[in-house]
Amino acid sequence: MRARYVVTSTCIQSGTIRLTLSLRQMLSGRERVACQDEDGERLDCTVDWVRGVLDGLLPYFEKRRLQVNDVIWLTLDDDVLTLEAAAARKARPRPVARPAGRAGVEEVKAMAAVEAAVPPAGVVAEPPKRVRVTPHAGEKRAVKKPGYVQALEALDLKFTAGEAYDLFRAYLGRREYTLALGRYGETDAADLLAVRRTGKADFVGLVVPEARMAEAVAGLGGVRLALVSPEALSQLVSLKKLFPVGPVELERLLRAGRVDASAIARLAEEVRRWVGERAAFSAVLLALAEYTRQQVFFPEDVLANLGEGGWDRETVRAVLEALTGPPFLLLEKSGMGEYLLREPVADNLTHLAEYALSLKSRIAAR
C-alpha cells in the first residue's frame, strides 16, 4: 500500500503527520510502526489514534530539511513504513570538530593584539584621553516608552503623554473612546476622577503591577477606577497575534473595571473557542480532500474521517452548511441529508484564492 502526504508547518514543528484516510487504512490496528528513510535508517514511531497523528518523525524532517508543501511518499512493506521525500535534499552534514591544540589564524592575531595592548613590566601606561562627542541635534536618543504604552499602541490606541496621566484614544469608525491612565502610587485617584467628571476621558484607571493588584483594590476602597496591569496588556498583545483582538475587547474589559491576568484568561478562553471553530473548518476541509469530484456523502462519513479529535456532529454539519454557500460553493445539499462534492477541495481553494487576490487588487486600486 502507498500513500502521498503533503508536509505542513504543523508537521515540521511537531514531528508528526496527520492520519489521513489512506494512512488510517494502512496502519489500522497498529500502535507502533518502524519507519525507514531513503538511507535505510529506522525510526520507531507511534500511531496516536487519539490525536490522529503518526508521531516521531522530527529527526527525519530535520535530516531531509523538509519544508512546507514538500511531498512524502509512504509505502507499507510488511511491518516497515518506507519514507521517500519527493524533494530529496541532501542530509544535513554533521559539524566537524576542530582539532584540539591548534589555534586558528584569527586566534593568533587576537592573542598578538592583546599582548601588544599590555605594556611591558615597569612601564606605566598613559591613561587614555577622554574625548567628548556632542551628538547632532537630529541624533538624540528617543526616550523608551513604558511597556504598557507600547502594548496599548500595539492594540491600535493613539498615545498622548501628559504630566499627571497619559491619554489613549481608540478610533472605532462611527464612534471612539478615550482612556486616561495614571501610575499607581504616583497619580492621585481624585485627579483621575475629575478627568472623567469633566468628560475629558470615557475611562480612567491606574496602571498597577499584577503583584500589587490586591493592594491597590484594598487601597482604593469603593472608588470606581479601572485597574490595568502591564502584564495583562502584554498577554492581550500576544492574543492579538493569534486572533484579531483590539480596542473593542479592551473596552469591554474596561467597562468591567479590571484588566488583569484573570480577565485576560477569560478572554483567552473565548479566543480559544473562536480559533477552535476555525480549526474545525480546516479539519473538515482536510477530510473532504480525500473525496473525489461528484462524490455523495453524509455528515457522519466526514465525522468518521476526522478521527477522535473532539469534533461533534453539529460542528461538522455547521461547517458543511457554510461550504454550500458563497464564496466556497463547494458542496450541494440534497433533500435526503446528503452532500455532493462539486469539485476537489484543492481546486476550490485555488479558485477562492484567485477570487480573493482579484478583490484585493480592486481594493488597492481605489
pLDDT tens-digit map of 6-53: 888 888 888 999 888 778 888 888 889 999 998 889 999 999 888 888
Kind plus residue range of the DSSP H or E element containing 44 = strand 42-48
CB atoms within 10 A of CB 132: 4
- Calculate mean pLDDT across residues 146-168: 91
- Is the confidence at residue 230, as pLDDT, over 90? yes
Ordered domains of the chain (ranges, CATH): 2-85 (2.40.330.10), 147-259 (3.40.91.30), 280-365 (1.10.10.10)
pLDDT digits (tens, 9 = 90+) for 324-363: 999 999 999 887 889 999 999 999 999 999 989 989 888 9
- Calculate mean pLDDT across residues 250-255: 94
pLDDT for 103 equals 46
pLDDT for 114 equals 44
> 54-63 burial, b for 16+ CB within 10 Å, e for fewer?
bebbeebbeb
pLDDT for 100 equals 47
- Is the confidence at residue 310, as pLDDT, over 90? no
pLDDT digits (tens, 9 = 90+) for 87-143: 655 555 545 444 544 544 554 454 555 444 445 555 544 555 555 555 555 544 556
> 76-115 burial, b for 16+ CB within 10 Å, e for fewer?
beeeebbbebeeeeeeeeeeeeeeeeeeeeeeeeeeeeee
- Is the confidence at residue 323, as pLDDT, over 70? yes
Euclidean distance between CA atoms 77 and 318, whole angstroms: 40
pLDDT for 126 equals 56
Confidence at 309, pLDDT banded by 50, 70, 90: low
